[in-house]
Amino acid sequence: MKLSSIPQLYRDANRLTEIVMIMSKYGLAEWISKLQLELADSILKTANGDILSKYSFEERIRMVLTELGPTFIKLGQVLSTRPDLLGADLSDELKKLQSNVPADPPEYIKQTIEEELDAPIEDLFASLDLEAVASASIGQVHFGKLQTGEDIVIKVRHKGICPKIQEDLSILVSLAQLAERIPEFALYQPRATVEEFKRTLERELDFSWELRNIQTFSRNFSTNPKVKIPKAYGKYSTNKILTMEHIRGHKLTSRKELEEAGYDLKEVAVTGAKIFLEMIFSYGSFHADPHPGNFFLLDDNVVGLIDFGMVGRLSERLREDIEDMLMSLVHKDAASLTSSIIRVGEVPKHINTEDLSADITDFVAYYATQSLSEFDISGALNEMMEIIRRYHIVLPAQIGMLIKVLITLEGTSRYLDPDFSLIEVMKPFQQELVARRFSPDRYLKKLHRVYNDLSRVIEILPGQMLDITESVQKGDFYIPLDHQGLEPSVNRVVIGLVTSALFLGSALMLSLKAPPLWSSFIGGSALKDLSLFGSVGMLMSAYMGFRLLRAINRSGHLNREEKKPPFR
């Protein structure tokens, strides 16, 4: 171990101790509520003085993450997009996570902007308010004006936030590696989940990613007059600061105020939903946080969007898989939907496909009979996630994020229009989906991919066959075999053979009264004519046989057939 790593280990140990103490404090509350001890209730309280035991398990998890700070708040916000891992209740609770970090002083903001843009603030901006108007977990926001007169918003990364987050990420990676060794946790791929979270958070820390996202969405919707994406100023942006256009409009705070301001909320709800569905089905890249705080309403019912730090992207193959699932649901094809879920997700080896298919069939039968006006897409998606979670199927992170977006989008739209139906808005996209599925361009692209794959195979196959032939001729060609689970079976066979041999040998010694006999040691006993070694061997073989039968019974393969893994 390097001496330079000792301070880091010491810091990690201190932080890990803090994490364990906070988790223990909130974990004890459940026991206290069962014991009904008023004294203990008065000791364990939140930072605001509330008694912990009155909160539910999901609420206490949210409180733990809030108290642990920005990294864990972000972790909770990312995990809220994974109802397939956490379940609907905990996922919904984690959506409430908010971070109000104290703003950095004006001196730091001035110094950071001037260092990053390599010029005095007076030369860069006509005006800039160094007092933050808002402060979140990663950065804080300031209003200003360019020399050319445009109103701007500048987001500045918090001082010292990167080392703190990297320390927490290091601890999370270590905890995930430990969790991977526990079978119950390993099913949910903790290491892969933490690695995905790490990539997401590192991109959010780098404001140049958000700059690219804004520019991408601006290009995609440049011809749509009903959506307003803020203009990003790359000249005044770096990985620490982000400068963009200041959108002025009404936030979605009160329906009554919006109606009094003259907005047609039914039109706004449909427009907002169409924007997100176009992102998903037309471009495969979507804003991943459509809660009311990220919307502005402008004149003529134009919808403005902000905060592009978290963006979901669907590969062409994944988008086709999602389309397959939607088409299966539309056509009430439960078997096809089950196959799609198994193909897309990480499925346990011994999953019961018959039970899964039966649950999917019940799900499809219930929701396929609902009219469009009655269809509850949030309820349907949540129920589907519960089925997937029950069978320990892990979906790709982007699908989990997409499901969270659709659920949040429907909630935001119904806040504006209680009669809103997301399925109704999706109908034109379903027709577009069908047309795209059978379009010549799609098949030409597939043929092109197949041609490229075949070309590569034709190019490398002769050389590989030649290598194999030369290896065979030289006598150094071999095929390694890995027998999974064979060692315990071999051990049992060996123990069974030893036990049988010991039993037969002991039986022979007893029948032949092989010396020494018990009479040499015990006089007048009923055992006097028995062989000493024969009787001891018989007892040992009986004990070993009992242990062997018990081990086989515990493995679950004594009285029932072993379930075969599904063909995939």
pLDDT tens, per residue, the chain with 568 residues: 444 444 444 556 777 777 777 777 776 545 444 444 444 444 455 555 556 666 777 888 888 888 887 778 878 877 776 766 777 788 778 877 766 678 899 999 999 999 999 999 999 999 999 999 988 888 899 999 999 999 999 999 999 888 888 888 888 888 888 877 777 667 667 888 788 888 888 888 899 999 999 999 999 999 999 999 999 999 999 999 999 999 998 988 778 888 888 999 999 999 999 999 999 888 989 998 887 778 899 999 999 999 898 888 888 888 888 878 877 877 778 888 899 889 888 888 788 888 999 999 998 888 877 766 677 777 888 888 888 888 888 888 888 888 888 888 888 888 888 888 888 888 787 777 777 777 787 778 778 888 888 888 888 888 888 888 888 887 777 777 666 666 677 778 888 888 888 888 888 888 888 787 777 666 655 666 788 888 888 889 888 888 888 887 776 554 544 444 443 3
Given 231, 246, 261, the domain boundary residue is: 246
CA atoms within 13 A on the CB side of 377: 24
Q: Are both 55 and 81 inside the same structural domain?
A: yes
Question: Is residue 264 included in any domain, yes or no?
Answer: yes
Q: Are both 87 and 216 inside the same structural domain?
A: no
Backbone angles phi, psi at 80, to 5 degrees: -65, -15
Question: Is residue 492 included in any domain, yes or no?
Answer: yes
Q: Are both 114 and 179 inside the same structural domain?
A: yes
Q: Are both 212 and 344 inside the same structural domain?
A: no
What's the distance, CA 371 to chain centroid? 32
319, amino acid identity: R
- Structure confidence at residue 373 (pLDDT): 65
Question: Is residue 373 included in any domain, yes or no?
Answer: yes
Q: Are both 64 and 198 inside the same structural domain?
A: no
Q: Are both 264 and 401 inside the same structural domain?
A: yes
How far lies 458's CA from each of 444, 451, 461, 472, in Å? 21, 10, 5, 22
Q: Are both 277 and 418 inside the same structural domain?
A: yes
Question: Is residue 567 included in any domain, yes or no?
Answer: no
Question: Is residue 471 included in any domain, yes or no?
Answer: yes
- Structure confidence at residue 31 (pLDDT): 45
For helices 397-416 and 265-278, give the axis angle rounded to 10 degrees. 170
Does residue 280 contact residue 402 with C-beta atoms inside 8 Å?
yes
Q: Show contacts of 139-142: CB within 8 Å, 24+ apart.
A: 139/207, 139/242, 140/101, 140/103, 140/104, 140/109, 142/109
Backbone angles phi, psi at 29, to 5 degrees: -60, -35
- Structure confidence at residue 151 (pLDDT): 95
Structure tokens at 251: 């936030």
Q: Are both 265 and 221 inside the same structural domain?
A: no
- Structure confidence at residue 39 (pLDDT): 43
Structure tokens at 368: 């396929």
Does residue 356 contact residue 391 with C-beta atoms inside 8 Å?
yes
- Structure confidence at residue 255 (pLDDT): 82
How many domains does one find in the chain?
A: 5
Question: Is residue 316 included in any domain, yes or no?
Answer: yes
Given 246, 278, 313, the domain boundary residue is: 246
- Structure confidence at residue 321 (pLDDT): 85
Q: What is the DSSP letter of 475?
A: T
Given 219, 246, 273, the domain boundary residue is: 246
Q: Are both 288 and 411 inside the same structural domain?
A: yes
Question: Is residue 234 included in any domain, yes or no?
Answer: yes
Q: Are both 50 and 164 inside the same structural domain?
A: no
Of 262, 332, 329, 334, the closest CA to residue 298 belongs to: 262
For helices 161-179 and 70-79, give the axis angle rounded to 10 degrees. 50
Q: Are both 35 and 131 inside the same structural domain?
A: no
Domain range holding 535? Answer: 486-555
Question: Is residue 563 included in any domain, yes or no?
Answer: no
Does residue 366 contact residue 67 with C-beta atoms inside 8 Å?
no
Of 266, 255, 247, the closest CA to residue 308 belongs to: 247
Instruction: Compute the distance between CA of residue 201 and CA of residue 322 in angstroms, rounded to an integer.
Output: 26
Q: Are both 230 and 113 inside the same structural domain?
A: yes
- Structure confidence at residue 563 (pLDDT): 47
